[in-house]
Amino acid sequence: MKPRPTIIDVAHHAGVSKSTVSRVVSDGSQGVSPETQQKVQAAIQTLGYEYNALAGGMRSNRTNLIMLAIPDIKNPFWPEVARGIQDVMDQEGYGVIFANSDWSGKREVDFLRLARRNGLDGILVNPIQVSNAELVNSGIPCVVLGLSPDYPDFDIVGSDSHGATLSALEYLFQLGHRRIALLHGRPQGRPRQARLEACKEFFQMHQLAIPPEWIIEVPYAHAGGELGMRKLAQLQPRPTAILASNDVIAIGALHAAVTLGLKIPNDLSLMGIDDIDAASLTIPQLSTICKPKYRIGEQAARLLLERIRGTSSSPRRIAIPSQLVKRSSTMELSG
Amino acid sequence: MKPRPTIIDVAHHAGVSKSTVSRVVSDGSQGVSPETQQKVQAAIQTLGYEYNALAGGMRSNRTNLIMLAIPDIKNPFWPEVARGIQDVMDQEGYGVIFANSDWSGKREVDFLRLARRNGLDGILVNPIQVSNAELVNSGIPCVVLGLSPDYPDFDIVGSDSHGATLSALEYLFQLGHRRIALLHGRPQGRPRQARLEACKEFFQMHQLAIPPEWIIEVPYAHAGGELGMRKLAQLQPRPTAILASNDVIAIGALHAAVTLGLKIPNDLSLMGIDDIDAASLTIPQLSTICKPKYRIGEQAARLLLERIRGTSSSPRRIAIPSQLVKRSSTMELSG
DNA sequence: TTGTAAGCGTTATCAT
DNA sequence: ATGATAACGCTTACAA
């Protein structure tokens, strides 16, 4: 197996200097005459030259690679976000590396190290365990996905969980529900408070007393929803409506409800948040709050590009509004 | 922002040569005295040194990075496989880079280029459009996921789709079904024949005639299943059983059936293949063939490691057996 | 527009 | 067990 040709080989073959070849293969041929470009391209073709990104990156401190670090590849929320990111980044010539930590804090930290060691140009992260300080310390341009209050030093893009929770509760309230329980996703690592606070705010506003046992913390997964529903079903008096932190949990709850013989929405109204594909594919279809996943990805990507390019400013916080989606898992409370 | 310290800085600080530092940070300290190790580690700590993988990789032609290239991150099949891969690779000190092409041939090719340019050590790929020749040509150690016959030059790991299809059909046959239709996933790009051939083999064996309109080609997605079911529902006489190419398609079909007022399994038995999580969460729960996703990932990772390490041999083909899972979307044909 | 030359931070070879 | 030194393939002033 013979060694891969380098720009030097190309240069010889084309009868130019290696700087010229370098200009052609990187800068988009800034300041290279058309004829020379032709010659170089021809040489590249015949030799089968391929750019060595390691060497280039080492010299220039740019890799044109960014990382997307997410906690849960099984949540259909992220692929949509990823698509938005990729479409923007592709266009700008950046490659996107997926990093899925499966809720493991260790793995998350490892990914950060990988990004540093390999000179990635930026990171988009929905952080679970890694802190604001650690992110700052990494020295890599970074945009946080999800409107957490814990990352004051970074641009943040997400949908307004607080607002989404309020709309959902408001909707259930309008349907006549007063006994509303929460299936509250508890991320491994840090607590995620936006939703809970929105709930408290709402309950206070409407002067509803919500007993603590109606707020059930469950893992951020399908099984969490099932677990939570089984607990809720035993409460006396039973809630008339349930709001889950996301659709995955809600769908889990829906399945448990069927198993338990509870009819949704007749016995119990149920809402999720996110509007993942599966939400419109359950029976009954799930009422939820639609988060603009693709646009979150696009926005985040754009902000990261600005950071990378140094068009910096003070951290921005972009909350893309979400939207109520009425389907058939909720109904007016009769009586 | 001051520049990151290099091994040279560490070497000065520890009073040793940079070769020694290099030995400590890479080789696992092969042939470095304990005291020297201590000194170097201390210097690394105080300086906050971080390894530069670009420089190292350029010199050594190893990056300790491999790529996992899949066509569809939305198919829950892959995260399980990915987990198997990651657990093995983690342990061996390799980072795994996800590359999701979303069924785009162009993106798949781009990923291959990215792997080459960035000197990745290996590729695990479920190829859609890229050919055996292109893979060979890339010069990167490579293991193919999925038992396609089109990649004779590579190690291949998958579950036995042929056998799985046969078991599913055999099961439906035993339940008394004779009019069996197929929702055949058609990957963008090349045809995937293993399942179809198994079907033909089966039908011949049992001397069943299957009209061509009972073999419906649909996109490899939820919507494909819905589409297919709507077509099948119009057939006269209607099939009594349906086998879908995977669970995602089957679940799509299930939802369409509900919309159409068809009762599963009473009006129609329905089977999928894969046994993704969602298969046990539908109503009714989906009968399917369980593919050992995690183990596929593990195996593939191991083979790739062998290839990377040069313990080469002729291409191996590993078919991990799958298993019939009887649930409630199938029933004995009455009458 | 093109060429020259000095690195970038590491690893590998060869001494010591 | 440790050190000196030459690559690795590219980018980037600067000069021509």
What are the pLDDT digits (tens) for A45-70? Answer: 999 999 999 999 999 999 999 999 99
Task: Specify the pairing of strand B323-325 against strand B288-290.
Answer: antiparallel
Taking the Cβ of residue B331 and every Cβ of chain A, the question of whether any pair is shorter than 8 Å is answered with: no
Vertex B69 angle, CA B65 and B73, to 5° = 120
DSSP 3-state of B243: strand
Per CATH, B7-51 and B65-159+293-321 having the same topology is answered: no
Distance in Å from C5's C1' to B112's CA comes to 34
Nucleotides of strand C lying closer than 7 angstroms to a protein CB: 1-5, 7-13
Residue scoring higher pLDDT (A75 or A57): A57
Residue of A nearest to B281 (CA): A255
Distances (CA, A) of A123 to A112, B48, B69, B95, B266: 9, 21, 20, 16, 51
Taking the Cβ of residue A134 and every Cβ of chain B, the question of whether any pair is shorter than 8 Å is answered with: no
Which nucleotide is the nearest neighbour of B60, by CA and C1'? C11
pLDDT reported for residue A283: 81
Instruction: Render B20-55 in DSSP notation, one character per residue.
Output: HHHHHHTSSSTT--HHHHHHHHHHHHHHT----HHH
pLDDT single digits (tens) A205-263 = 988 888 888 999 999 899 999 999 999 999 989 999 999 999 999 999 999 998 899 99
Considering only CA atoms, give the Rg of chain A. 25
Which nucleotide is the nearest neighbour of A59, by CA and C1'? C8
Q: What is this structure's pTM? A: 0.89
Taking the Cβ of residue A55 and every Cβ of chain B, the question of whether any pair is shorter than 8 Å is answered with: yes
Residue scoring higher pLDDT (A7 or B200): A7
The band of A334, judged by pLDDT with boundaries at 50, 70 and 90, is: confident
Q: What is the CATH number of domain B161-291?
A: 3.40.50.2300
**What percentage of chain A reaches a pLDDT higher than 70?**
97
- Nearest residue to nucleotide D5, by CA–C1' distance, is B19
pLDDT tens, N- to C-terminus, chain B (335 residues): 678 999 999 999 999 999 999 999 987 788 899 999 999 999 999 999 999 999 999 999 999 999 999 999 888 899 999 999 999 999 999 999 999 999 999 999 999 999 999 999 999 999 999 999 999 999 999 999 998 889 999 999 999 888 899 999 999 999 999 999 999 998 765 556 777 788 888 888 988 888 888 999 999 889 999 999 999 999 989 999 999 999 999 999 999 998 899 999 999 999 999 998 888 878 888 999 999 999 999 999 999 999 999 866 899 999 999 999 999 999 999 76
Tell me the domain boundaries of chain B: 7-51, 65-159+293-321, 161-291
Residue of A nearest to B256 (CA): A281
Q: Which two tokens stand for residue A78?
A: 């992220």
Strand D surroundings (CB within 7 A): A 3-4, 6-8, 18-19, 22-23, 25-27, 49, 51-52, 55-56, 58-60; B 15-20, 23, 31-33, 35-36, 55, 58-59
d(CA A285, CA A281): 6
Smallest Cα distance from A262 to chain B, Å? 14
Strand C surroundings (CB within 7 A): A 15-20, 23, 31-33, 35-36, 55, 58-59; B 3-4, 6-8, 18-19, 22, 25-26, 49, 51-52, 55-56, 58-60
Q: Backbone phi, then psi, for A170, in 5-degree steps?
A: -60, -45
Residue scoring higher pLDDT (A335 or A257): A257
Q: Which two tokens stand for residue B74?
A: 């939305």
Q: Residue B94: what residue type?
A: Y
Among A204, A224, A199, smallest CA distance to A214 is for A199
The number of residues making up chain A comes to: 335
Cβ contact B230:B261 at 8 Å: no
- At the second CATH level, the architecture of B65-159+293-321 is 3-Layer(aba) Sandwich (3.40)
Residue A31: Cβ within 10 Å count = 7
For B146, residues 6+ apart whose C-beta sits below 8 A from its C-beta are B126, B127, B156, B158, B161
| The CATH classification of domain B7-51, taken from the options 1.10.260.40, 3.90.1640.10, 3.30.1360.40, 1.10.4080.10 | 1.10.260.40
d(CA B85, CA B297): 5
pLDDT reported for residue A203: 87
